[in-house]
């Protein structure tokens, strides 16, 4: 077996990005996925590279809102009652992550990772001829009234301290110069000009996958059931027999912790279930990415159409989808964008892998040094994919790291 052979488990945006970067650095890489390229969360995200989103979900005082999550199953952040007991240990870690000391450390780590992600994405776009799949139109974070805007200023100050560029707008007229057609209820906004989107997250992932194949990479549809560190390699168990590899990267999104557990690593990953509706081309003249923060959803342009989605439902992998959540978001979008044509939409629900401290897991397994983890990015998988790829490649090859990675270590819990 070749020492530089690597098998990457997962063909979403994280796995494909890692595979490409390892390939570029001289590794012989094969990607394994149970369903295929971009067939899960990478297929239907909002398409945003949200480098300005540096504030963790676990903020000081957030647990005071926990009872409301159970009482409002259609709210921006909810826990289905049927899942409340099972998620209790994760919620305890989430609560601890919201303490000011942990929150401050997570904020710094997220900011550093997003800054690296911005630069790494530009390198990825150049290396793989991806500019035609990008939309550099910025983002509007919208507020209803002076009071809501002022309540957001602390978050904007944190962004300023961490190098995020933005401009504040103080009237519907100023907002309309960037995005016409919004309801007048939105009186203030923050505009982040360096925010960018892909025209379609599935197309972007498939484009990178094709670049990987063009350079000799192989992608196979195979489900990995378990992992075992042997003396000199890693054994991958499948339904049809065992595979072997000198090194393995686990980038299987919301299913990753199940594989980690077969090695003895108990990583507290939970699942954010996200919902959206994609409307056909011509549904609205959308000129920038719109974020309705207090309502927990965004509106983005996908292949000339409009995608309305978001919310956080911490409900695991097995509960049936509640598409009333997608309906509610679309109804709100129609009120906020009076000219929005809501016919002909396609609904979707997907699983985002979420850690209690909002930080991904990037690094070698504590129990299996030839297995590297790259998962748990929450709703920032697309955003942080290129940086994650560079960090995993540097860790595997022993090169110098471009930022401290202790905050992302699998052993931190």
**Is-contact 265 364, C-beta < 8 A?**
no
| Reduced 3-state DSSP string for 58-120 | CCCCHHHHHHHHHHCCCCCEECCHHHCCCCHHHHHHHHHHCCHHHHHHHHHHHHHHHHHHHHH
> Taking the model in full, what pTM does it have?
0.94
Cα–Cα distance measured from residue 376 to residue 255, given in angstroms and rounded to the nearest whole number: 10
What's the whole-number mean pLDDT along residues 172-180?
Answer: 97
> What are the structural domains of the chain?
1-47+200-269+356-413 (3.50.50.60)
Q: Terminal CA-to-CA distance of the chain, rounded, Å?
A: 34
Residue 169 pLDDT exceeds 90: yes
| Mean predicted confidence (pLDDT) in 2-7 | 83
pLDDT tens for residues 288-337?
999 998 888 999 999 999 999 987 888 889 989 889 999 999 999 999 99
Mean pLDDT across the stretch 69-95?
A: 83
Instruction: Kindly list the strands in the beta sheet with 48-49, ordered across the sheet, starting from the edge strand earlier in the chain.
Output: 48-49, 196-198, 134-135
CB under 8 Å to 359, separation ≥6 — which residues?
56, 106, 109, 110, 113, 376, 407, 408
Question: What span, in angstroms and rounded, lies between the C-alpha atoms of 375 and 355?
Answer: 9
**Predicted pLDDT of residue 269:** 96
State the Cα–Cα distance between residues 219 and 33, nearest whole angstrom: 8
Average the pLDDT over 48-64 and give the result: 88
Residues 6+ apart with CB under 8 A from 279: 305, 306, 307, 308, 340, 341, 342, 343, 344, 345
How far is it, in rounded angstroms, from Cα 317 to Cα 314? 9
pLDDT of residue 213: 98
How far is the C-alpha of 336 from the C-alpha of 407, rounded, in Å?
38
How far, in whole angstroms, is CA 208 from its chain's centroid? Answer: 17
Quick one: three-class SS letters along 334-402? HHHCCCCCCCCCEEEEEEEEECCCCCCEEEECCCCCCEEEEECEHHHHHHHHHHHHHHHHHHHHCCCCC
HSE, CB side, 13 Å, CA atoms: give it for residue 377. 32
> Could you tell me which residue, 69 or 99, shows the higher pLDDT?
99
């Amino acid at each position: 077996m070749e020492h530089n052979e690597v098998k990457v488990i997962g063909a979403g945006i994280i796995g494909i990005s890692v595979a490409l970067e390892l390939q570029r650095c001289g590794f012989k890489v094969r990607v394994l996925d149970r369903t295929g390229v971009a067939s899960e969360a990478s297929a239907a995200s909002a398409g945003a590279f949200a480098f300005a989103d540096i504030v963790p979900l676990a903020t000081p005082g957030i647990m005071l809102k926990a009872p409301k999550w159970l009482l409002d199953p259609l709210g921006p952040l909810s826990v289905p009652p049927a899942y409340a007991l099972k998620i209790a240990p994760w919620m305890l870690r989430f609560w601890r992550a919201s303490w000011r000391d942990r929150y401050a450390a997570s904020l710094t780590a997220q900011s550093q990772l997003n800054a690296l992600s911005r630069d790494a994405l530009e390198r990825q776009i150049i290396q793989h001829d991806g500019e035609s799949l990008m939309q550099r139109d910025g983002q509007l974070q919208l507020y209803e009234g002076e009071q809501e805007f002022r309540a957001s200023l602390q978050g904007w100050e944190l962004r300023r301290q961490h190098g995020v560029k933005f401009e504040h707008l103080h009237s519907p007229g100023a907002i309309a110069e960037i995005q016409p057609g919004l309801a007048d209820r939105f009186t203030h906004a923050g505009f982040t000009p360096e925010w960018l989107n892909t025209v379609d997250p599935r197309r972007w992932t498939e484009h990178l996958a094709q670049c990987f194949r063009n350079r000799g990479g192989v992608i196979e549809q195979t489900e990995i059931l378990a992992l075992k560190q042997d003396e000199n390699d890693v054994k991958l168990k499948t339904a049809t027999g065992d595979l072997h590899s000198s090194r393995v990267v686990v980038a299987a999104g919301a299913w990753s912790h199940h594989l980690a557990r077969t090695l003895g690593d108990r990583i507290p990953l939970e699942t954010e279930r996200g919902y959206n509706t994609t409307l056909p081309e011509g549904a609205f003249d959308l000129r920038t990415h719109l974020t309705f923060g207090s309502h927990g959803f965004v509106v983005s342009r996908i292949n000339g159409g409009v995608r309305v989605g978001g919310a956080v439902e911490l409900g695991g992998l097995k509960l049936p989808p509640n598409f009333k959540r997608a309906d509610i978001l679309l109804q709100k979008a129609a009120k906020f964008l009076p000219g929005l044509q809501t016919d002909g939409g396609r609904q979707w629900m997907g699983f985002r892998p979420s850690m209690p401290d909002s930080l991904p897991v990037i690094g070698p397994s504590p129990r299996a040094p030839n297995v590297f983890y790259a998962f748990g990015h929450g709703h920032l998988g697309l955003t942080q994919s290129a940086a994650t790829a560079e960090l995993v490649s540097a860790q595997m090859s022993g090169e110098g790291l471009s930022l401290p990675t202790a905050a992302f270590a699998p052993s931190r819990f």
